[in-house]
Amino acid sequence: MLEIFKVSKKEQIRISEKSLRRSVMAFFEKMGEISEDAAIATDTLVSSDLRGVESHGVSNMLRYYLDGYMKEKIKARPNWHIVNETPGTATLDADNGLVVFLGKHAMQIAIDKAKKVGVGAVTVFNSEHSGAIGHHAMSAVQQDMIGLVMTSASARVVPTFASKALLGTNPIAVAAPTRNEAPFLYDAATCSVAMNKIWIARRLGSMLGPGWICDNQGLPIEESILAPESDDDFLLLPLGATREQGSHKGFGLAMIVDIMSALLAGSIPDMLSSVDNKDRKQSHHFTAYNIEAFTELDTFKDNMDRMLKMIRETKPISSEERVLYPGLLEHEEKQARQENGIPFHKDVVTWFKEMTGHLSIPDIEIL
């Protein structure tokens, strides 16, 4: 994560992981989720905070979920079920449940299928927010597989040359196991910058870079600006920002996510929701590749380690200290935060304390 997204030291308050887990677990149970799912949801969110991915951690997501449960947009104890199934595939109706925990179930179905036929693919529709999809991709890694996860999200991104938003930030995550290196974990929106990062920049008063957003008519804003006050005042650009810099590639990747998640589940991407007069829902895709079906697992892991080490040890350009591969910094951050606590912005701590008081659930413990 770029420095500008980080909470400055003087506004940081450190929270113990254990107390955070206890509070978040109690939150989900209070919302009506069964203990097993509350525990999974807690792990998804707290793992993001541990990895330094605040954009998808407790601070951003919990308020959003609370609102969703209150408005009955998110259904607790969803009656999720498989609507179509073959030896290698399944399609799940999430019944408006949070993929924050359903993601683990969906990926496990994919993994179980991959154990039998080498590869398993699961699509999920009628679903609510997933948290960081990289966390669900990591479920596959824990069982020595490669995990691929995608999310078709609400339309906020403008296709190349278009004057309105039709695509979601539509992230793609891929995780792959290693032997001794930190696991490979790629988890990124297909737009210039994820929506959650704009929210954090707004809270922190950080500047956005050129080409990160466009105005409401689709024109790229090519200078650095403060994050707009309201989400209605801007739209997002695809990865690449402009056609000359490759925005058609980011745009196409976002469409792939819509196709693999929403359309392949028999559902629709957000751009068609208003046409059909339907509620905005998310759709998701999970594929697990069983490495042993393709090659020797040991060979794979050894080669992963060799590749990641080579990248990590490559001489950086003079302005930088090191070369990082996807997942390395987050892995190191996790180790540090498990030891020293999780830094929260003071405003988040204030909100959290009000929320736990209001819901009569255990408070977080400041270190």
Among positive and negative, which fits the CA dihedral 265, 269, 274, 275? negative
Q: Which is nearer to a second copy, 69 or 289 (CB)?
A: 289
Residue count at the site for a second copy (CB under 8 A)? 92
The answer to whether 27 contacts a second copy (rule: CB under 8 A) is no
- 162-186 CB burial, b ≥16 within 10 A, e <16: beebbbbbbbbbbbbbbeebbbbbb
The answer to whether 32 contacts a second copy (rule: CB under 8 A) is no
Task: Give me the count of residues in the chain.
Answer: 367
Q: Which of 23, 123, 126, 130 binds a second copy (CB under 8 A)?
A: 123
Q: Which of residues 61-90 bind a second copy (CB under 8 A)?
A: 84, 86-89
- Which one of 44-52, 226-234, 287-295, 339-347 is the stretch in contact with a second copy (CB under 8 A)? 287-295
The answer to whether 119 contacts a second copy (rule: CB under 8 A) is yes
The answer to whether 331 contacts a second copy (rule: CB under 8 A) is no
Two structure tokens written together for 360: 């009569």
- Which one of 13-21, 95-103, 308-316, 349-357 is the stretch in contact with a second copy (CB under 8 A)? 308-316
Q: Which is nearer to a second copy, 306 or 346 (CB)?
A: 306
Q: Which is nearer to a second copy, 13 or 264 (CB)?
A: 264
- Which one of 5-13, 66-74, 318-326, 348-356 is the stretch in contact with a second copy (CB under 8 A)? 318-326
- Taking a C-beta distance cutoff of 8 angstroms, is the pair 176, 308 a contact? no
Residue 175: name the closest of 204, 194, 149, 198 by CA: 149
Two structure tokens written together for 66: 């609370």
The nearest distance, CB 5 to a second copy, in angstroms, is 12
Q: Which of residues 154-193 bind a second copy (CB under 8 A)?
A: 159-164, 166, 172, 174, 176, 184, 186, 188, 190, 192-193
From residue 130, give the alpha-carbon distance in Å to each of 155, 159, 167, 254, 292. Answer: 16, 24, 17, 17, 28
Site pattern 213..232 for a second copy (x: CB under 8 A):
----xxx-------------
Two structure tokens written together for 132: 């960081």
Q: Which is nearer to a second copy, 22 or 312 (CB)?
A: 312
Q: What CA–CA distance (Å, rounded) separates 234 from 230?
A: 8
Residue 164: name the closest of 240, 100, 215 by CA: 215
The number of beta carbons lying within 10 Å of the beta carbon of residue 35 is: 10
Q: Which of 324, 355, 359, 361 binds a second copy (CB under 8 A)?
A: 324
- Taking a C-beta distance cutoff of 8 angstroms, is the pair 187, 137 a contact? yes
The answer to whether 96 contacts a second copy (rule: CB under 8 A) is no
Q: Which of residues 243-282 bind a second copy (CB under 8 A)?
A: 243-246, 248-253, 255-256, 258-260, 262-266, 268-269, 271-272, 275
The nearest distance, CB 72 to a second copy, in angstroms, is 27
Residue 256: name the closest of 95, 235, 126, 248 by CA: 248
- Residue keyed to tokens 């737009």: 191
**Contacts (Cβ under 8 Å, ≥6 apart) of 8:** 204
Q: Which of residues 128-147 bind a second copy (CB under 8 A)?
A: 146
The nearest distance, CB 78 to a second copy, in angstroms, is 20
Q: Which of 8, 79, 180, 295 binds a second copy (CB under 8 A)?
A: 295
Q: Which of residues 230-249 bind a second copy (CB under 8 A)?
A: 239-241, 243-246, 248-249
- Residue keyed to tokens 């304390």: 353
Q: Which is nearer to a second copy, 2 or 367 (CB)?
A: 2
- Residue keyed to tokens 């696991």: 183
Q: What CA–CA distance (Å, rounded) separates 282 from 195?
A: 15
The nearest distance, CB 172 to a second copy, in angstroms, is 8
- Taking a C-beta distance cutoff of 8 angstroms, is the pair 114, 146 a contact? no
